[in-house]
Every structure is written in C-alpha cells, then in structure tokens.
Amino acid sequence: MHDLLKLTIREILALYASKTLSPSEYWSAVEARVEAFEPHVQALYLYNPESARQQAAASTERWMKGETLGLLDGIPVTLKELIATKGDPVPLGTAAVELVPAAEDAPAAARLREDGAVIFAKTTCPDYGMLSSGLSSFHPLSRNPWDLTQNPGGSSAGAAAAGAAGYGLLHIGTDIGGSVRLPAGWTGLFGFKPSHGRIPVDPFYVGRCAGPMTRTVEDAAISMATLSRPDWRDGTSLPPNDFDWMDFEIDLKGMKIGLMLEAGIGLPVEAEVRDAVTVAARRFEEAGAEIIPVEPIMTRVMLDGLDNFWRARFWGDIEKMPEERRALILPYIHQWAEGGTYISGVEAVRGFNQTIEMRKAAGALFTRVDAVLSPTNPIVSYPADWASPTNDPSKPFEHIGFTVPWNMSEQPAASINCGFSSSGMPIGLQIVGPRFGDLVVLKLSRAFEQWTGGITRWPEPPTA
C-alpha cells in the first residue's frame, strides 16, 4: 500500500494545510489503488476518476488560496449506492428498478459536498439493501479483499470492500439491522452506527441510520462533524450537537460494561469469535471497568415478528410492479418477499410491535450497564456468492441478533476489529452505548484501538 494511504484524515489535512501534499496528489494515490484492486473486489458503482481529478484540482486551488469549504475539503469519499447523489440514478441494487436520475443529494451527500469532499464513486449493495451480502441482480458480485472467495457482508458491501481495499479513508454506509457494522466486522473496518437521527437520512425507514466506515476510529469521528449537521428532510434529525467529536478522553474505572456472548436467536457463535470478544472484554476489565455478563435481548418472537413486518412492507412496495420488472429481482429476495402475501395486516402490525419490545428490552438492560460488548457477527465468514450467512430465504436474518436491537432502540453502536481467525479473516467486536451516547461508543472504541494498536496490515491486490 502507498505510504500516503496509511495516513489518517487528520494527517492528510495537516499535509494539505502545510502545502506539502495537494488533494490532487493524494487522489492520484487513491486512484492507483482503485485500479489495482477494483477488477478483483468490484466494490464501486458510477466510479468517475475524471470527475474526481477535477474535484481534487478544485480543492487543491482552494487549499492554495486558504479558502477551503469545510473540514473534509479534498478528502476522497464514497457513498453507498442507496444514498442519492444529484443527477445519478439510484438502482437500489436491483435490476428491477428503472434508472431515473436523482433530483437532489440525500443529506449525507449534501453535507460532504458542502465541505468539499471528493465524491468519486457510489458503492454497491444487494437488491433493496435487503441482504448481508455483496450479491446483487444489478451490480457485479462484490468480494472481501481479505479473501476473494469470501463475502464482505452487507448491505453496505461495496463500502466495506472499498474500505478494506484502501480506496481512501472514508466510506458512508447505511444500517437498518446491522448493515454498517456487519460488513465492517467481516472486513476489519471500524463501522459506526450513530444514535438514530444523528446523521439525517432521506428516505426515512424504521431504524435506518447512515454511518462512516473507516480504518480508524479517529477517521470516523472526524467525519461526524460534517455528517451530523441537521437536515429538515429527516423528521427525526437531531439538533446540532454541541460536543467535540474528537474528544476521546475517558476514565474506565468503575464503568459497568455488559458482556453479551449469546445473541438469543439465530446462528450460534463460533468459538474463535467468542474467544476474541472475551479477550477484548478482558482489556476493558484490566483498564478498570467492571465486566458484567448479560443475557441476550433478542428472542425468536422478536426476530420472527420483525421478519413478518419487513416481508409485508416490502411486498407492499413491489406487488404492483409490472411482472416483467419484478421478475428481475434477485430470486432469493423475491422468494423471501413473496411470503408477505400470506401475512395479514394484523400480523404485520404485531410484527412491527416487536420493534417496541426490542426497545423496551434494551432500555431495561441499560439501567444496569453503561455500555455493552458483544460479537458483531456470530460467524467468521461465508462464501462470496451466498445471499446471506444461511443462504436460505426462509431464514434470512439468523445473523443479525447482536446488531438489530440497537437500531430499534435507536442507540449508537460500532464494530471494531478485535483479531483474526485461523483462516485469516477479521473478527469484529461490537461496542454499544446508551441512547445519544455517541461519544461513549467512540471513546471506548478509541481506547480499545490504542490498546491493540489497530490493524497494521491490510490486503494487497492479487498478483494473478
């Protein structure tokens, strides 16, 4: 990897400010990395290096004049394909959608553009963002840079693949049940899902958040000052925050941290994952925190209810679509969604009500602890061409037991690398904070990163 690509956003900005590096020069290093990796991982959609060169040149001129637009001026960034950018189609990962140019930037895109970031591509996702996979009926198959036979996870699949491959420092994903944290865990990235409303989204969906996927905690934190500015289009958008996103100071002595080693439902936790998370918890204990074993939040009733609600809602979205277009949806997704035809309105409402039960269970747990540690993913990895870790449309969500409750409870949560499996694949530790306790999650994550030294080795392009 080019030495420039090993630097943090803060370090790059310092070089820009001292005029020892220009945004154009930095973009050249990123572009070379994309050229080396993209034929193998296929993480990008609408990749436009010429536009990136022009944006970087404009940023270079602003830095030379001392007239930068904002904190991220000249920093290359990608946005998940579901996040609209003006003038570009939003295919939603599926061949079934007509390609109509977006009328305006979604909130995250607008904030980045206002601050002068170099938006050089969108990143791939599966059909409608409904899979934890890089499999799509529209995009080429996205793969995990650590092992091209393995899945990057999803639905922010391309964002995870791009981040792990080293396509710059900042990739924005979205997360309804774990779609930032799950792929971050499987690719060794830091993935941050903030409190609901902290980063405005449009369109709104229950539990839907946007969040940064980066190689370091600091890179995610520095981006939050830009991404968290309010936007009227999101009725849940939080007021402007009055804290310093780069404040990582924390005293762990006496802090009560729950350790959740079972999800309560779904795939059992593999031994290597359990061991890595247990060792990580020990680090916090050694720093003075009290580690308290806690029971899972999720139940089979909760997960099945959520599944029913999602199926019914999604089938309602697509049932009036012309049959020839609906037939283009990934068969796995279509088969899963068809189950919505048999779900009554009453059953769908009962399913939705399980999101309230998750919120209540999360609230009760956080009366006893200040934060929670758990695995991000129950398993180490799965094949690149699988639609999900079970590859079974009748059991599509057996892997989200650790992640989805925090979407429904609107709490901040992150995934950070806590080791590697015997097969060489990354393992993710999830850190969850109280509602609106975004800084708690970042502080704990930063402390863990400093103890471990973070990941110093990243994938290199295949030679064949």
**What is the set of active-site residues?**
80, 155, 179
Classify residue 220 as exposed, middle or buried by CB count within 10 Å of its CB (0-12, 13-18, 19+). buried
For 193, residues 6+ apart whose C-beta sits below 8 A from its C-beta are 175, 180, 181, 209, 211, 406, 407, 412, 413, 414
Helix (H) or strand (E) holding 428, with range, is strand 426-432
Cα Rg of the chain, angstroms: 21
- Going by their DSSP bridges, the two strands 190-193 and 209-214 should be labelled as antiparallel
Output the six-digit token pair for 313: 């809602």
Helix extents (H) in 180-299: 181-187, 217-227, 271-286
209 pairs with which residues across the strands?
A: 175
Give the amino acid at 315.
Answer: W
Output the six-digit token pair for 196: 């609901």
DSSP per-residue letters across 285-306? HHTTPEEEE---S--HHHHHHH
Q: Which residue has the tokens 């570009």?
A: 88
Q: In degrees, to the nearest 5, what angle opens at C-alpha 326 toward C-alphas 324 and 330?
A: 120
- CA dihedral (184, 252, 449, 113) in degrees, to 10, reads 60
DSSP 3: G
Q: How far apart are CA 294 and CA 108, in angstroms?
A: 35
Backbone angles phi, psi at 76, to 5 degrees: -65, 140
Distances, alpha carbon 425 to alpha carbons 29, 62, 148, 153, 272, in Å: 26, 41, 11, 12, 11
Query: Which among 211, 36, 178, 47 is positioned nearest to 123, based on CA atoms?
Result: 47
CB atoms within 10 A of CB 422: 7
Distances, alpha carbon 26 to alpha carbons 7, 51, 54, 78, in Å: 11, 15, 13, 15
Structural contact between residues 439 and 243, judged by C-beta atoms closer than 8 angstroms = yes
